[in-house]
A and B are shown apart, each in its own frame.
Chain A
Amino acid sequence: MGEATPLLSLRGITKRFGALVANDDIDLDLQRGEMLALLGENGAGKTTLMNILFGHYTADEGSIEIDGAPLPPGSPKAALGAGLGMVHQHFTLADNMSVVDNIMVGVEPLTRFRRNTAAAVAKIRALAERYEMDVSPYSLVKHLSVGQRQRVEILKALYRHTRILILDEPTAVLTPQESDHLFATLRLLVDQGLAIIFITHKLREVMAASDRCLVLRHGKVVFACRTATTSSEQLARRMVGGELPEVRRIAATPGDPLLELGGLSAENDHGYQLLDHLDLTVNAGEIVGIAGVSGNGQSQLADLVSGMIADFSGTFMLAGAPIEKPSPRQMVRRGVGRIPEDRTATGLIGDMTVLENLALESYWKRGFNRLGFLAAVPLRQRTAELLGRFDIRCAGADAPVRTMSGGNMQKLILARVLAERPILIVANQPTWGLDVGATAFVHQRLIEASREGAGVLLISEDLDELFAIADTIQVMYQGTLSPPIDPARTNAAEIGLAMSGQRDISQAMISARD
């Protein structure tokens, strides 16, 4: 390359945080009409690089040029002015406002009293039509689907004359079909001369959609190439920096039912039906995967089995015994191991130590509680043993957990759960945001636990994860579950149809093949 002046050019970007080099001499070129995939494990430096690009951080060394003109460092305003736009993974829209209000906010002149909404609406309509996005300017954001909201975010960027669009994990919240739609839209944009960077760790998307890819590892660019000349295996090896960890599948031999939910319904405080006459059985020794687009009741299902929802109707049986008024402590007592969706917000207590966090679900048990005092010696012994057994890297038993990496935090939670030898494990997004190595570790441990007789309820929005380790998959849609599907006899497209509510079609496709 190097024929024309690149639209965006990063040269020798280096950023240090103390001893940690987050970005190490990174070069990046982006041409008009090009789609670049930025890959890397957690902590590889992708977020830091984007923060530097947008002026939230200042690079210690290096320079940024947009269309040949240097971009002043540390100025978000200059970055936006130069045509950089970002679509965040977690949308930055106000739910109670209309699409046009959301798009206009922040770009109106402060000195004008009246807003020129009509002009904005016309412009949004024109943009939406040009790029084939079905968004009505006057709908309220809260009435839009996740995919539509993402299109509003893209429109918002386009409205501001964005020339370089950056998307952070754009498909994390989408069904496979919605992802295809998104990439079709992005392709249209690129054809119009925009440049796009998308951050992801889903190799399938990289191979399908990008023109070029750039792999970051430990803050360095370890691999850059045209997508057509590489393979997902090669990219994965570059990301991990070696051979891929292998997860050993072991054949399942399902035993007695451990968790039985029958006609189970639950509402939230506002009377909104979150679980709707749901039936589910998890047997000993099997991993039941729950697929679904986020917000279809998966969190409530996990909360229910974790003992966080006390009010429900229907039957809730655990190991043959009914549960009437569940509480977290009761579920722990009855042998339910719980891996929550959000490790920092609910799984751990950040300012407390590794030892104290490992004890959270057992400190009250005999052996650890001596006349109201925490039994220091047994707790230390157990902590040391678990740190070793689960290969948890930390500064020691007395280090606060907030200083640990995401992968080690998740290992800590896994250790806390598995140390109690649970009969049932409910894991909600257990590998969300983890790197390949940590993901494989979590998967391996879940498989082992299930083969030793535990039932595993695995809730995940990542279809690859479900196909990798679940023995049977059920799709959640608006608080209900599809019948169990054998992962060996289906594919992502069929599951995706069920995720978007087309359960009958998906069932028909599966049975038609038999």
Chain B
Amino acid sequence: MRLEPRAHTSMAMTILVPVGAAALALMSCSVLILWAGASPFLALTLLVKGSLGSVFALSETLTRTIPLIFTGLAAAVAFRAKLWNIGAEGQFYLGACAATWLGTGAIDLPPPLLIPLLFAAGAIAGGLWLLGPTLLKTRLAVDEVVTTLLLNFVVLLFVNWLVFGPWKDPMAMGWPQAEPVVDAALLPPLVAKTRLHGGLLIAVFAAVLFWVVMKYTTWGYEIRAVGNNQAGATFAGIPIDRVVIRTALLSGGIAGCAGVSELLGVKGYLTLDLSPGFGYSGIVVAMLAGLHPLGVLLSALFIAALSIGADSMSRALNISNYIADIATAISLLAVLAGMMLTRYRIRFR
């Protein structure tokens, strides 16, 4: 068996790979479900029903999609420039912190002004947080995978200190959480009696915006050039460091927005469980999307449906909802293998 490069990659292949990866992931989960003593067919039916089968299920899935779009974009734009930002989780929480700081009564503005202001604050906080590791990378060649990853824990400990200490809400009956944001800062619900909120519109708008930036602007052009061939971009006179720093601000900024959106749209107050790892899931979302901003919309929906559906399935069948995590992991592995197949073909002798 050997690999031979393909002359060109067909469009069908590009679409087939992620879809095939998703199918493969669900199929391999069937084996685990069978092992756990349930019927895979029933389980998968419940999974689909639980994620897309009713207005409520769909609204839950879409609510979960929102932060994944933001963090997926964060990974997608950074990875395009070969800036390996693994720190979206930390940037998420810092975004939420910034919004909590300004949104719990410090500023009194009507919603149309306050909400954009809080998003901006969150974006600045997230962006600046990624700036440090990026400067270490451009100035001293420090590996950003290590620094961004480790800074996540710094942020989590910082938030821990905030919600147990200075920001602890005295009205929360001892729970470690910050004061709730003011009513004017809350994102309005999109569908009555569900948790689905206006953050979805912002997330979709952000995805379209990122797509336009990457495809049609000189910024996007520079980011792609630097990511594809740094030596070539340097020779052509593209200011590499400036482009990487700009990318970091975009990536960290949009990850910060994820935190703001969850804070203002779902929880209303800062806690340590604001994110069940959205920052890390964003990496999977971006890879499944082939780092395409519009693809992020679909892959975020897929990952969200998988986790919401698995929750509901596990409750009904009494099997672990870790099945969803396994499916996510397998789909990522399948996509990575599949991406290679779009560029190479396997030959058997």
A interface, CB within 8 angstroms of B: 17-18, 20, 58, 74, 306-308, 327-332, 338, 340, 345-352, 356, 359-361, 363-364, 369, 372-374, 376, 403
A403:B218 contact, CB within 8 angstroms: no
- A356 → chain B closest CB, angstroms: 7
B217 at the interface (CB under 8 A from A): yes
B139 at the interface (CB under 8 A from A): no
- In this complex, how many residues of chain B approach chain A with their Cβ under 8 Å: the count is 22
Residue interface mask B1-24, A partner, CB < 8 A = 1: 000100110000000000000000
A328:B218 contact, CB within 8 angstroms: no
B235:A308 contact, CB within 8 angstroms: yes
A332:B237 contact, CB within 8 angstroms: yes
B233 at the interface (CB under 8 A from A): yes
Report the nearest B residue to A332, measured CB to CB: B237
* 8 Å CB interface, B219-271 against A: 219, 221, 224-225, 228-229, 231-239
B216 at the interface (CB under 8 A from A): yes
Query: Which residues of chain B have C-beta atoms less than 8 A from A307's C-beta?
Result: 237
Report the nearest A residue to B236, measured CB to CB: A360
Residue of A20, A308, A374 with most partner-chain B CB within 10 A: A374
Residue of B4, B218, B349 with most partner-chain A CB within 10 A: B218
B7:A373 contact, CB within 8 angstroms: no
Report the nearest A residue to B5, measured CB to CB: A17
Task: For the complex, give the distance between the alpha carbons of A248 and B238 in Å.
Answer: 37
- B203 → chain A closest CB, angstroms: 23
* 8 Å CB interface, B192-235 against A: 216-219, 221, 224-225, 228-229, 231-235
Task: For the complex, give the distance between the alpha carbons of A372 and B216 in Å.
Answer: 9
* 8 Å CB interface, B15-56 against A: none
A373:B235 contact, CB within 8 angstroms: no
Task: For the complex, give the distance between the alpha carbons of A328 and B234 in Å.
Answer: 8
Beyond A349-B225, A369-B218, 19 additional pairs, beta carbon < 8 A: A17-B4, A58-B349, A308-B235, A332-B237, A338-B235, A345-B232, A349-B224, A349-B228, A349-B236, A352-B225, A352-B228, A360-B238, A361-B236, A361-B237, A373-B217, A373-B218, A374-B216, A374-B218, A374-B221
- B5 → chain A closest CB, angstroms: 9
- B193 → chain A closest CB, angstroms: 43
B interface, CB within 8 angstroms of A: 4, 7-8, 216-219, 221, 224-225, 228-229, 231-239, 349
- A76 → chain B closest CB, angstroms: 11
- A142 → chain B closest CB, angstroms: 24
With beta carbons under 8 angstroms apart, the residue of B216, B221, B228 that contacts A363 is B221
A308:B234 contact, CB within 8 angstroms: yes
Query: Which residues of chain A have C-beta atoms less than 8 A from B238's C-beta?
Result: 360
Pairs across A and B, CB under 8 Å, 17 listed: A17-B4, A307-B237, A338-B235, A348-B232, A349-B224, A349-B225, A349-B229, A350-B228, A351-B228, A352-B224, A352-B225, A361-B236, A373-B216, A374-B216, A374-B218, A376-B216, A403-B8
Task: For the complex, give the distance between the alpha carbons of A359 and B233 in Å.
Answer: 12
Query: Which residues of chain A have C-beta atoms less than 8 A from B349's C-beta?
Result: 58, 74
- A144 → chain B closest CB, angstroms: 28
Task: For the complex, give the distance between the alpha carbons of A348 and B234 in Å.
Answer: 11
Task: For the complex, give the distance between the alpha carbons of A376 and B7 in Å.
Answer: 27
Task: For the complex, give the distance between the alpha carbons of A338 and B349 in Å.
Answer: 45
Whether A340 touches B235, Cβ cut-off 8 Å, given contacts A349-B228, A360-B225, is yes
Query: Which residues of chain B have C-beta atoms less than 8 A from A18's C-beta?
Result: 7
Task: For the complex, give the distance between the alpha carbons of A361 and B219 in Å.
Answer: 15
- A116 → chain B closest CB, angstroms: 35
Report the nearest B residue to A416, measured CB to CB: B236
B235:A346 contact, CB within 8 angstroms: yes
Task: For the complex, give the distance between the alpha carbons of A439 and B234 in Å.
Answer: 27
- A196 → chain B closest CB, angstroms: 29
Query: Which residues of chain B have C-beta atoms less than 8 A from A327's C-beta?
Result: 237
Task: For the complex, give the distance between the alpha carbons of A340 and B237 in Å.
Answer: 13
Task: For the complex, give the distance between the alpha carbons of A20 and B4 in Å.
Answer: 14
B7:A356 contact, CB within 8 angstroms: no
Residue of B8, B216, B228, B232 with most partner-chain A CB within 10 A: B232
Report the nearest B residue to A18, measured CB to CB: B7
Task: For the complex, give the distance between the alpha carbons of A348 and B232 in Å.
Answer: 6
Query: Which residues of chain B have C-beta atoms less than 8 A from A74's C-beta?
Result: 349
- B307 → chain A closest CB, angstroms: 33
Query: Which residues of chain B have C-beta atoms less than 8 A from A363's C-beta?
Result: 218, 221
- B17 → chain A closest CB, angstroms: 17
With beta carbons under 8 angstroms apart, the residue of A340, A349, A373 that contacts B233 is A349
- B321 → chain A closest CB, angstroms: 39
Task: For the complex, give the distance between the alpha carbons of A159 and B10 in Å.
Answer: 47
Task: For the complex, give the distance between the alpha carbons of A118 and B165 in Å.
Answer: 73
Query: Which residues of chain B have C-beta atoms less than 8 A from A351's C-beta?
Result: 228-229
- A311 → chain B closest CB, angstroms: 16
A328:B7 contact, CB within 8 angstroms: no
Please list the 5 inter-chain residue pairs (A to B) with the smallest Cβ-Cβ separation, ordered nearest first: A329-B237, A328-B237, A360-B236, A349-B229, A346-B235
B217:A349 contact, CB within 8 angstroms: no
B218:A306 contact, CB within 8 angstroms: no
Task: For the complex, give the distance between the alpha carbons of A346 and B237 in Å.
Answer: 11
Query: Which residues of chain A have C-beta atoms less than 8 A from B232's C-beta?
Result: 345-349, 360
- A59 → chain B closest CB, angstroms: 11
A372:B218 contact, CB within 8 angstroms: yes
A356:B221 contact, CB within 8 angstroms: yes
A372:B219 contact, CB within 8 angstroms: yes
Query: Which residues of chain B have C-beta atoms less than 8 A from A349's C-beta?
Result: 224-225, 228-229, 232-233, 236
